[in-house]
Amino acid sequence: MLTFIIKRTLLFIPVVWGVITLTFILMFVVPGDPVLSMVGERYDEATVEQLREELHLDEPMYMQYGRFFWNLLHGDLGHSYITNRPVLDTILDKFPKTMLLAGAAMLVSVILGLSVGIVSSLKPYSWFDKGSMVIALGGISAPVFWVGLMLVLIFGIQLRWFPSSGYGGLAFLVLPAITLGTRSSAFLARVTRATMLEVKSKDFMRTAKAKGLPKWIIILKHQFVNTLIPVITIIGVDFGSYLSGAVLTESIFGWPGIGRLALDSILKRDFPMIQGTVLVTALVFITVNFLVDLLYGVVDPRIRYDE
């Protein structure tokens, strides 16, 4: 296990370097001039040239890349072109809000998805099973922005049960968390049901029943535990996707997180902020997948990474 941890940790370096490099190159491909976004409609060439020189945008691409990478090694992500505030400070201010939203969405996904999946597998082809799987299919197919708009229209505007937008207490978190976690919970429910039905036909399940074990022990200790590998995989991958999916969700609900920050930065051609948000998102995604790999060995002792 220790060997595996060391190898995966070393893989962080080329993956993160690749993300940094690709993001930096894409900044030169994206149409638009960040300097023109800063000066507005009325400007003169002297001001534009002065700004380009101050921001080192007049230098060749390889020099800009070397400067950015050197600063990054020293923990400096640069300053925003728009606010002139350090990128790292802005991200540290916004990132906890996105993590709160992602955590709430995961909670919705796990509770709803596992509950529906387990109950459906215990009563296959029943009215509950058929109805829940149809709803789950709809949840997988529905776009995130459509789900969010429908929740705002029904529960925010018509029924007035929850705030339509903004950031605050628990009430502000409900609708965006459901929006972000809907697709994941639907997919998790279908996978849980299918995996538990597959495990149900295994020989060790018949042996457990022959021993006369209580039904709840058979379901939880033998059937459900052997479905955890695909379940953990889905949860880990989806948690990483919450950060990217939060761009739409945070924009719909006015949630002041890193997703909305990334979208605003793209619209304003704020290159340092875009690079910072992409880098942080990539680091979180890699870390989550690393932890998922470690959980495989904990859940299933048959998996030996050091052999």
**From CA 100, how far away is CA 102, in angstroms rounded?**
5
Q: How confident is the model at residue 300 (pLDDT cuts 50, 70, 90)?
A: low
Question: What's the confidence (pLDDT) of residue 39?
Answer: 64
Question: What's the confidence (pLDDT) of residue 41?
Answer: 62
- Evaluate whether residue 286 is within a structural domain: yes
Buried b (16+ CB within 10 A) or exposed e, 56-67: ebeeeeeebbee
The arithmetic mean of pLDDT across residues 238-248, rounded, is 72
pTM of the predicted model as reported, rounded to 2 decimal places? 0.77
Q: How confident is the model at residue 223 (pLDDT cuts 50, 70, 90)?
A: low
User: Which domain, by its residues, includes 290?
Assistant: 96-299
Residue 252 makes CB contacts below 8 A (sequence gap 6+) with 145, 148, 149, 152, 165, 176, 179
Q: How many domains are contained in the chain?
A: 1
- Evaluate whether residue 114 is within a structural domain: yes
Q: How confident is the model at residue 250 (pLDDT cuts 50, 70, 90)?
A: confident
Instruction: Convert the pLDDT of each residue in 260-291 to its tens digit.
Output: 888 888 877 778 888 888 888 878 877 777 77
- Evaluate whether residue 51 is within a structural domain: no
The arithmetic mean of pLDDT across residues 121-139, rounded, is 79
Highest mean pLDDT among 111-125, 240-254, 285-299: 111-125
Question: What's the confidence (pLDDT) of residue 294?
Answer: 72
- Evaluate whether residue 11 is within a structural domain: no
Bridge partners (DSSP) of residue 79 are: 86
The CATH number of the domain where 225 resides is what?
A: 1.10.3720.10
- Evaluate whether residue 266 is within a structural domain: yes
Orientation angle between helical segments 228-253 and 144-151, nearest 10 degrees? 60
The arithmetic mean of pLDDT across residues 135-159, rounded, is 81
